[in-house]
A and B are shown apart, each in its own frame.
Chain A
Amino acid sequence: MQNSKPEKLKQTLTGYIAQAVYPVVFLGEVFSAKPRLARRKRELLYYLDLCGVKSLPVVIIISLLMGSIIAMQGILQMRKVGAEIFIVDLVGFAVLKEFGPLMVAMISTGRAGSAFAAEIGTMKVNEEIYALQTMGVNPYSYLVYPKLAAMLVAIPVLTVFGDAFSILGGMILSTSACDITPAAYWARSTAVLNGTVFMLGIIKSAVFGVLITLAGCCCGFSAEGNAQGVGRGATQAVVASIFLVVIADAVMTLLFTFIGY
């Protein structure tokens, strides 16, 4: 028997509302589940390896280039007023406050966020998640927490590397393109930058890590149908992660500005 039009509309609307509300339900499910990380050491190490160690070369190369690019743009502008030494300030603050955490988050979105969504989506399509539930295993605890814990460790560590190599990239370019010596660059960096700015960047990166993980897992859990659904879920995870990271960055930047940083 075919459904009438009002019923179809009702089903469509219900579907949209369910889709819109699902992230909230997902959050509730995750935070109501017990972490039980001690039992999931193997997975934790796997994700640390995937999101941290294997992302490190990419992070180092991109950060070096990013620092150099910022320094180059700074040199072009600062040279006009003979204020090349302020490139150190520009690179330092831009990297520690924004570009370091943001670039690492973008790399992790591409590597980890999409991988999480694809992995969970495939499990959902293959009904492995239902199997877990049947066996009495909470899938949110089993699948989300190891990823979350790994990302909480990996992303800040990657950000530390990213910050250091961005500053190094800026130093290499500044010392080769300007009359700034490495010693002067270092002295200026240590004079103008401070530990608080650095730590606020690390805090930002941890928040980004949580958001990327939750977005990836949520999109994985909401994947439906077949392999195409998994692909859609992975794409959605990347888009949602980038969106959330940028929104969170804006909010945190405002918040840190209000407190004087």
Chain B
Amino acid sequence: MSEKSQKLRIGIFIIAGTLLMLAVLFFLGLSDMFVEKVTLVTRFNESVQGLTVGSPVKYRGVQVGTVSKISIVMQKKTVWVAMEIEPRYFRGVDKDEFENAFRKELANGLACRMEFAGITGMKFIDLDYFSTANTDITVPSNIPLEEAIYVASVPSAFQDFSKAVVNAMERLSKIRFEEISAELEQSIITINTLLADPAIKSTISKINEAAENLESSTATINQAINEERIATMLDDVEKNLKSLNKLTSTLNRTSAEMKLPESSRALRNAADSISESQKDLTTTLEKLNHTLDSMKLFFDYIEKDPSSIIRGKKPEKSILK
């Protein structure tokens, strides 16, 4: 291998490597040096967690720049955020007049708001025309970057949500978990003691037996009342119902033919007659009874004095005598 070709290879290697490095550097940052940028500044009265230097700045969803600086003013509890946006994204606006055009849009209600960039918790700044009536667009006197354009900020949508979460957490913290836990533990102990009672155990065993019996009964019933049998029974029931229907219709017809009012009147008269006959019979029986008594007296007298049949009844002695 000649020395010349070796030098050529090395030369190509070094030149290609250097060019590649410059190209990578250009695309990964050096190109930004040649891009014109406008600095915006805003302040937030809320937490900016998730917003970092380099976070995107979007105008109606289009990334037009990045966050360049974040600083805190402790006395006022506010966070100042500086952003750099690139006028090249705004078509139809001359670069020299961009600042004036942007200020006009600010007067028309353009403001910024923090939004979540995804599920990772990272945030971006959204420039848009928000319909919040109480947006304060007056430029504060203490802007950290004097040459920067002040953009009013609108409270983020998740601020209310986070407040609600904080409230919920506060309420949760007020719940006396320890007491509840102690009570729960006591209840469990009581339940365990109760379950350990022999009476409960015997009850449970009885319930088990009953359940077994019920199960076997059910099985027997199931066995006894099978589908075929039910079908037969239903046939019988149907036949019986038909017979009953016939009987009912026959009864109706018969009852109609029987002339019940007349029959009942005759029956009532017959009952009255029987009642009267019963009274007569009672009188007759009483008279017969008297007769029998008289006859008994007669026969007793004859028995005492048989000659009385011939002589007649002796006259009764007078008491006066």
Contact = CB atoms under 8 A, between A and B. Distances in A.
B120 interface: yes
A154 B14 CA distance: 8
Given A193-B28, A195-B29, A160 B10 contact: no
Nearest to A54: B9
A30 B24 CA distance: 35
B17 A198 contact: no
Interface string A180-207: 0000000001110111111100100000
Nearest to A163: B24
Contact of A157 (B6, B14, B30): B14
B21 interface: yes
A160 B29 contact: no
Contacts of B119: 81, 83
Contacts, number: 64
B28 A53 contact: no
A22 interface: no
B13 interface: yes
A196 B25 CA distance: 8
Interface of B: 3, 6-7, 9-10, 13-14, 16-18, 20-21, 24-25, 27-31, 63, 118-120
A198 B118 CA distance: 27
Contact of A202 (B9, B10, B16, B21): B21
Contact of A52 (B3, B10, B18, B118): B10
A168 B13 CA distance: 19
Contacts of A202: 21
A131 interface: no
Given A49-B6, A153-B14, A161-B17, A195 B120 contact: no
A202 B24 CA distance: 12
A190 to B, nearest CB: 5
B21 A49 contact: no
Provide the main secondary structure of the chain A interface: helix
A169 B14 CA distance: 22
Contacts of A198: 24-25, 28
Interface in A112-126: none
Contacts of B18: 157
A193 B54 CA distance: 11
A45 interface: yes
A160 B17 contact: yes
A81 B121 CA distance: 13
Interface centre among A42, A49, A81, A153 (most CB of B within 10 A): A49
A97 to B, nearest CB: 13
Interface in A122-175: 153-154, 156-158, 160-161, 163-164
15 contacts: A42-B3, A45-B6, A48-B14, A49-B6, A81-B119, A153-B14, A154-B13, A156-B17, A156-B21, A157-B17, A158-B17, A190-B27, A190-B31, A198-B24, A199-B25
